[in-house]
Structure formats: C-alpha cells, structure tokens
C-alpha cells in the first residue's frame, strides 16, 4: 500500500502560531491538506490563513480551557470537521532554575499546558476520529522526557507524561483505525527559549550559540512523514537529535 495523499488529509494543529506548529501548518498546507490552526495569538493565525487561502482555518484557543477546547472542535465548519490528523503540539517551558529554586507558578503553567491542556486536546479531538474510524494523533513530546538536564525538572516530567500518555492512548485506540505517534525532538530553534526566558532574547540566543539546532521545518517534516505513511503502518515514536558539528 502506498503513502497517503496529503490532499486527503485535514489536520488540526495546536500551538500553530510559531515554531514547530506553524511549520507543521505550512508543511501540510503546501502539500494541499486542509489545516485547522489553533493557538492564542490571533494575528499569527490570521497571517497563516492569508498565506493559504481556503486551506487554513484560524481558531483562537487556549488549550487549558476544556469547555473552549470542546466547543472549538464542535464548531468546526463542514469543510474541516472530518479532520483525520490531530497534532497535539502546544507546549512550553518556563524557567531553567534548579528544582530547589524554581517558581511554583512556572511549574503550574507547564503542568496546566503540557499535561492538562494536552489531555484536554485529546479528549475533545479524539472521539470524532474514532467515530469516523480514521485518524492519527501526533504528539509533540521531547527528548527531555527521556534524558535529564539541569533545570529541566518539571518540564522533563511533563514530556515523560506525553510519552506515556501517547502509548496509553494508542492502547485505547488499537483497532479503531486511529494511529498515534509521539514526535520527540531535541534542540530546535523556535520561540521556545524566548518564552522560557520570559522574552529575554539575548539569553534565548545563547541557548543556540555554538550549536547546530534543528528547525521547526525539520520537525514538521517528521510529522508529515508519520502522518502520510500507509494506514497499516504506525510509527509510535520518532526521536531526533540535532547533529552537532565541530
């Protein structure tokens, strides 16, 4: 059986306003897929919709609000409501302090977004795909879910949750026609570190100094690969590291 035609895919992407999510929107829309782009920054969503008229639908959503998430899926117009790929990508890291000094509100925000918001996204978006007997949940986890680093503490814990949640969702949907993949990137240059350092761009730039990070486009390519594989193939995890150069 051959790879899926991207023109037959309708993709929902959370965290679509920047980085990996925005690149994922562009990757699929450039190939002719319809894409629902979800995120909080409406101007970014509108710009994506203008880039791909009739293909990208902007939907303002904070994934931490379950009622809003459920309503967003329920309100999808006819052209998009048969979505068959759900990219649960929205997430963030805040602070890089050791556990003994971390800000409790940073921990709460990461848990609310990366764990609770992710689970809400799946709970709201999965039933439609199961009912249609066709779909694919693509999570954005992280190598941080496997490998520790100083200051990673709760962020790494949330990504370990994503890894185990993805596998357990897979256990729930086996036989329904829905697939599950957890994409687990290493260092990727996006707005991630700007958010982590609360808008301090100089500090954020230092994260990439002397490294050859991956780009949002690199990760989007992996999402596209997994989602267009023939339906009898399930890639459960993709872990990609930046290839350091001397």
Q: Can residue 68 be called a binding residue for ligand NDP (CB under 6 A)?
A: no
* Cα four-point dihedral sign 117, 118, 119, 121: positive
Nearer to ligand NDP, 130 or 235 (CB): 235
Q: Can residue 18 be called a binding residue for ligand NDP (CB under 6 A)?
A: yes
Nearer to ligand NDP, 14 or 33 (CB): 14
| Cα 58 from Cα 39, distance rounded (Å) | 8
Q: Can residue 125 be called a binding residue for ligand NDP (CB under 6 A)?
A: no
Among this protein's residues, is 155 annotated catalytic? yes
Give the distance, in angstroms, between the CA of residue 215 and the centroid of all CA atoms in the same chain: 14
Q: Can residue 91 be called a binding residue for ligand NDP (CB under 6 A)?
A: yes
Give the distance, in angstroms, between the CA of residue 33 and the centroid of all CA atoms in the same chain: 17
Catalytic residue from among 66, 120, 147, 155: 155
Nearer to ligand NDP, 16 or 129 (CB): 16
For tokens 């921990």, the residue is 107
Nearer to ligand NDP, 112 or 134 (CB): 112
Give the residue, chosen from 9, 25, 29, 63, that forms a contact with ligand NDP under the rule CB under 6 A: 63
Give the distance, in angstroms, between the CA of residue 84 and the centroid of all CA atoms in the same chain: 15
Size of the site for ligand NDP (CB under 6 A): 31
Q: Can residue 123 be called a binding residue for ligand NDP (CB under 6 A)?
A: no
Please list the active-site residues.
155
């Amino acid at each position: 059986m051959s790879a899926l035609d991207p023109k037959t895919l309708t993709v929902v992407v959370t965290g679509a306003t920047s980085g990996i999510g925005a690149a994922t929107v562009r990757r699929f829309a450039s190939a002719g897929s319809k894409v629902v782009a979800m995120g909080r920054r409406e101007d970014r969503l509108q710009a994506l919709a203008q880039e791909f008229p009739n293909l990208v639908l902007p939907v303002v959503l904070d994934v931490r609000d379950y009622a809003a998430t459920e309503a967003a899926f329920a309100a999808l117009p006819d052209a998009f409501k048969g979505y068959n790929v759900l990219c649960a990508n929205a997430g963030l890291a805040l602070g890089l302090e050791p556990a003994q000094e971390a800000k409790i509100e940073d921990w709460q925000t990461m848990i609310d977004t990366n764990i609770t918001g992710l689970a809400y996204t799946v709970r709201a978006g999965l039933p439609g795909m199961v009912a249609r007997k066709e779909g694919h949940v693509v999570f954005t986890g992280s190598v941080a879910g496997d490998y520790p680093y100083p200051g990673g503490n709760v962020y790494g814990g949330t990504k370990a949750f994503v890894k185990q949640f993805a596998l357990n969702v897979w256990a729930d949907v086996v036989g329904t026609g829905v697939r599950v993949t957890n994409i687990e990137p290493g260092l990727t240059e996006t707005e991630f570190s700007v958010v982590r350092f609360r808008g301090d761009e100089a500090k954020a730039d230092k994260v990439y100094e002397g490294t050859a990070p991956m780009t949002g486009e690199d990760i989007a390519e992996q999402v596209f690969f997994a989602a267009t594989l023939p339906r009898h193939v399930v890639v459960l995890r993709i872990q990609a590291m930046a290839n350091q150069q001397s």
